[in-house]
Every structure is written in C-alpha cells, then in structure tokens.
Structure 1
C-alpha cells in the first residue's frame, strides 16, 4: 500500500517531498533517472524488523557495512549499522529523549524539524554517502522511526529516492519477546504497560511520518508463513527489483524457532480504551492489502497525545511533591507544626 501524494507537513519534519512522486500502487518514487532507492525499515523493536531486513537483503537489497552483529538472544543478527545507532542516540539525547521515551514531547515541540536540525541532517547525509553503490539499499534501526524526516531529508540530499517498509507484529508477542530478552541479557524488565506505550508510539509515528513516501506494511507472521509472497508485495508496491538468487538461504534463516511467541487471542488494553487494538487492526489490514483506516489512526494518535501530555504534566508535578515529601521527615514536619501553633497562640489567632 503506497501512501498518496501530499504536501510536506511538520509531522514529516520538513522533509522536502518534492523529490518523490507517488502515483499509485506498483509505481516507484520518481526522481532523477537512475537515482538509487534507499529502503527504510521502520517499526518498533521486536516487531520483525531484523527478519524483514535480512530477507529483503537476501532478495537483492544492499546492506550497509559495520553491522551490529548477532547476540545470544538474537543469534540471527539485527542487520542494523552501528553508525546509525550512534547517530540516533546522539540526536535523541540532544533533544532530551531516548529510544525508551514513551512521550510525544519532542514530536509536539517540533524538536525533529529539519530546519532546526541541519547539523544532524549533515551528519546523516555524510554517513549515507558511505553506503554501497547499488540500485537498492536497505537500512534499519528502530529509533529512526522517531525522526524519519531527518533521515529522509538527508537521503534525498545524498541522491537517493526514498521508500519505507513498516513492520507489523501482534503487540502481545512483542511483550513476550522483550521479556525473553530481559532474561537472556539480565536486562531491566519492562512492564507490559510500558511495552504497549512504546509500541503505540512507534507504530503511530511509523505510519504518520511515512504518508508522503512510497510505503508498504508487512506483518511478521505473514513473512514467516510465506516470505515469497511478502517479497513480491514489497517489490510490486514500491516498484523495486527484488529477486532471490538463493532461496535456501532465506529458508534456513526463517526457521520455525524464529517465532517464539505466537499469539492468536485478543489484544489486551492496559489504558482503558481501544487504542492498541485499533492501531494493530488498522496496520494488520494494511499488511493484508486492505484499505488503511487513517482516520482511526488519527483518532488514536490525538487521544494518546492529549492523554500522555496531561499525565506527563501530572507525573512531573507528582515527582516534585514526592521529592518534597522525602526531604521533610516526620520529625521536621512535627517541629514545624508545633512552632506554627506556638506562633498562633502568641498572636491569639489559634483556631
């Protein structure tokens, strides 16, 4: 499913959308003749972005050098460049945020507008010029989802046409996957509620910030079930040439044990509404080539934005009162109240 042509907006962080012309399904972005295409894989971590990136790279998309490599809990690798990780961490930290930030504070304040981030765009562009010379290059680093406009602008300046693949996975499966990672790495275990908030933020931003570029949604379960069909969908939707020379390599990579946490039940709603189910259903439909309910995603985004902003203000104030409470021991409180009572008695204002 390719997003229709629209004017650039603040949500795409000032990305110069004139470099792309999206005319309909199966048509690639039209820039200068012979321009290479850079394919951004977006979505929340543990949503199948690594598997999707590797399958597409085995189908003809060139990978960057300097990849992160495999770990004990992800033996097949992440397929993301270390330089991109470092750049995204630097940018997020520079704006008082991180990949673990569930808030939309930075997005609300326009922190990732291209106009106010030219230095970061220059750094990204310099890195992108080191990518392999190929008709199609693929790049994945989940934190790009929080600021794709900077990467899109830098890619355009570096001579690329832009396209996006958005990875979709049942959020309950992501909760299980993150819990397993915590066990393997002796890492901080996040709550299901926090995972759902992260998933909502990344999913909403991935969809919202790619409306001006050619894109396609791929569900992780569908990739594992029939990777040939999904590769074909990506190729047709984005108008890029994907041809697999070694199907055996993909078959070996996508072994059944790659999906440890299969969930067929309903989506749990930790926030008292229908946000998680609504977003997952909309993106799942798009991954099945059904119409994307953009108005439903807009509704959830606005509800999440307003609720998150209100609770964030309340929690920040609550922390200040908590700090005050910790500083004022019962002894100090008692001493202060007794002194105040004595003062009132002397003035005759005691009540």
Structure 2
C-alpha cells in the first residue's frame, strides 16, 4: 500500500476528535465505508468513526477483559507486551482486512476512535507491514472540560473522568513518541480550523484531495460555537493529586500544539506519579475492578455473538416493527 497516507486521530473521548475528523472530511480525506450516525445532544455533526473498525476495537478490548472506560491500563493487567498475545492476532488480521477493503487505494485516509489511545501498539505492526505512512494527530483538550462532558453524558465522577483522561493521554503519548505526529489543541480547532488543517497537511507532508483554500467556506461553516458544550473556568493551578497531574500534562501538550518542544522528562515524571497514584489503590479495589471488567466482558461478548447470529438476523426485522408499533 505505497503512497498510502493515514491520519490517526489520538485523543480521549469528548476531546474534540469528532470535530477534527469531520473537518478532515471537508478536504476529501476518506473515512471508510460505513460510519456511526450522529447522535442528538452528544455529537450532532457525527462521530466520524468507522463502524466495523470500532466494533473490532470494542470486541478486542472485551476479549482482553477491558473496555473503553477501564480504570486500569492494559499493561497493568496483561503485561507490557499484551499486543503480542494469541488473543490479539485474530483481531489484527480482522483490522488488516478492513484496511485493505476500505483504504487500499486511498491516497489520504483517517481513522478516529478514542480506543486507539489504548490499542495503538496493536496497530503499529499493521502500519509497518502494509507500508502505510501513518501520522498521529494528538488532540489535546482541557481535561476539566472533558470531565464535565463525561459527568453530563455518562454520570462519571470527576475523579474517574480524570483517571481516564490521564490513561488515554499518557498511553497515546508513550506509544506514538518518536513517530511522525502533530499536536493539536481543541481551542485551535474551534477558533482557526483552516489553519489547523493547513498545519496537518504541512507536518504530514501530504496534499489533501480538496485544497484547504478551496474548502475554506465549508470548513468554517462546519465549526460553530454551539459545538463547545463545556467550557472550563479559569482557575489557579491545582495543588496536588489527579487534578495537578492532568493540569500539568494538558499544559505540556498545549505548548506542543503551539510549537514548543516537549519536555519528555516532565511527561515521564507525570506518568510515574500517576502509576504511583494507582499503586496506592487497595488490593480489594483493583480486584473488584477486574472482576467487574470480566463480568461485563462476558455479557457483552455473548451479546455480540447473538447479534451476529443467523437467528437474530432473521428475527431482527420483526423486532424493529414491533418496536415501532409499541405504545408503552
């Protein structure tokens, strides 16, 4: 797959990754055959997620007894080289098939799924063996805005939301370090989307199918102030704990988006502090998290099997009609 450019969007859920990917679609970047539909009140302009790839990611995490909101990093549960286990291989083959099917002849394509932050190590061999030129677009948004969005959508506590933001952000940074990547800040996307797309094209050394200048009107119309549902107040820096770690990491990534060099020693210090924070969790708490992960995975794997079975496919149209006629 020579001359095949992939833009891999890395960012925590509710970080503006959908907005950025939607902007890339305005300049002709290919997204795949089937995308998840927009959802009112959540992502009105679309998620821009490849349905089959996201489903594969979801099932892979479940088979690893994990899910998108797992409070434990995969390496903590499965070991540092979890992506080399036999459980992962069939999913890697499945992802290769989907890439070949939808992007084999695409000069520029994009893949957006926040699960990529956790699953990136499983993708790196795919990019290498298929000769795909991957550039990683690291989306950075104020973690306290992300937490506010997750509190509203999923009823998460602020602490859980910040743990998830740190897991996604630190894991994505660690596994993309040293590879071609571009840091983008959410505020840049909202205020100057044309400039953001031009920056990506320049940093990734590619030409979009539709020139940015030609698509300028569509780009500006795609971004509206109403897309920002949560704006964090300007506060003094937190003094300690999760909030301080998230604040410091966000500031480093914001500086990177502004063109400054990343102080990797500071990032590694935050990663070490976060690992120490999690090591202070009680044994009982960690055991309970793993137990609930396994229980949830078992139920959802069974659901996937039923959903894909011939019996379900035959009965599904009847079920949909019954649902439309139901009055209760």
Q: Which of 46, 69, 72 lines up with 1:77 in the alignment?
A: 46
Q: Give the distance between the partners of 1:287 and 1:227, measured in 2 at CA.
A: 14
Partner of 2:110, secondary structure, is: strand
Aligned to 1:127: 98
Q: TM-score, normalised by structure 2?
A: 0.79
Deviation at 1:39, TM superposition (A): 1.1
Deviation at 1:256, TM superposition (A): 1.3
Aligned pairs for 1:49-88 (under 5 A) are: 49-73=17-41, 74-88=43-57
Aligned to 2:292: none
Larger radius of gyration: 1
Aligned to 2:261: 291
CA contact (8 A) 2:162 2:242 kept: no
Q: Which of 264, 277, 282 lines up with 1:307 in the alignment?
A: 277
Cα deviation 1:24-68 (Å, max 9, x = unaligned): xxxxxxxx8x42011110110110100111112212321112100
Partner of 1:130, secondary structure, is: helix
Partner of 2:102, secondary structure, is: coil
Deviation at 1:150, TM superposition (A): 1.1
Aligned to 2:317: none
Q: Give the distance between the partners of 1:272 and 1:221, measured in 2 at CA.
A: 23
Aligned to 1:24: none
Q: Which of 140, 143, 148 lines up with 1:168 in the alignment?
A: 140
Partner of 1:90, secondary structure, is: helix
State whether structure 2 residue 252 is matched by structure 1 residue 282: yes
Partner of 2:82, secondary structure, is: coil
Partner of 2:115, secondary structure, is: helix
Deviation at 1:177, TM superposition (A): 2.0
Q: List structure 1 segments (4+ residues) > 6 angstroms apart after TM superposition.
A: none
Aligned to 1:345: none
CA contact (8 A) 1:219 1:284 kept: yes
Partner of 1:147, secondary structure, is: helix
Pick the structure with more helix per residue: 2
Q: Give the distance between the partners of 1:212 and 1:127, measured in 2 at CA.
A: 27
Partner of 1:97, secondary structure, is: coil
Partner of 2:6, secondary structure, is: strand
Q: 1:261 to 1:314 in 2, by over 3 A?
A: same
Aligned to 2:187: 221
Q: Give the distance between the partners of 1:174 and 1:145, measured in 2 at CA.
A: 15
Q: Give the distance between the partners of 2:14 and 2:146, measured in 1 at CA.
A: 6
Ranges in structure 2 where 5+ consecutive residues have no aligned partner: 290-328
Q: 1:51 to 1:83 in 2, by over 3 A?
A: same
CA contact (8 A) 1:50 1:77 kept: yes
Deviation at 1:147, TM superposition (A): 1.3
State which drifts further: 110-119 or 160-169: 110-119
Q: Give the distance between the partners of 1:310 and 1:170, measured in 2 at CA.
A: 26
Aligned to 2:89: 118
CA contact (8 A) 2:194 2:216 kept: no
Q: TM-score, normalised by structure 1?
A: 0.74
Q: 1:165 to 1:191 in 2, by over 3 A?
A: same
State whether structure 2 residue 143 is matched by structure 1 residue 149: no
Partner of 1:213, secondary structure, is: coil
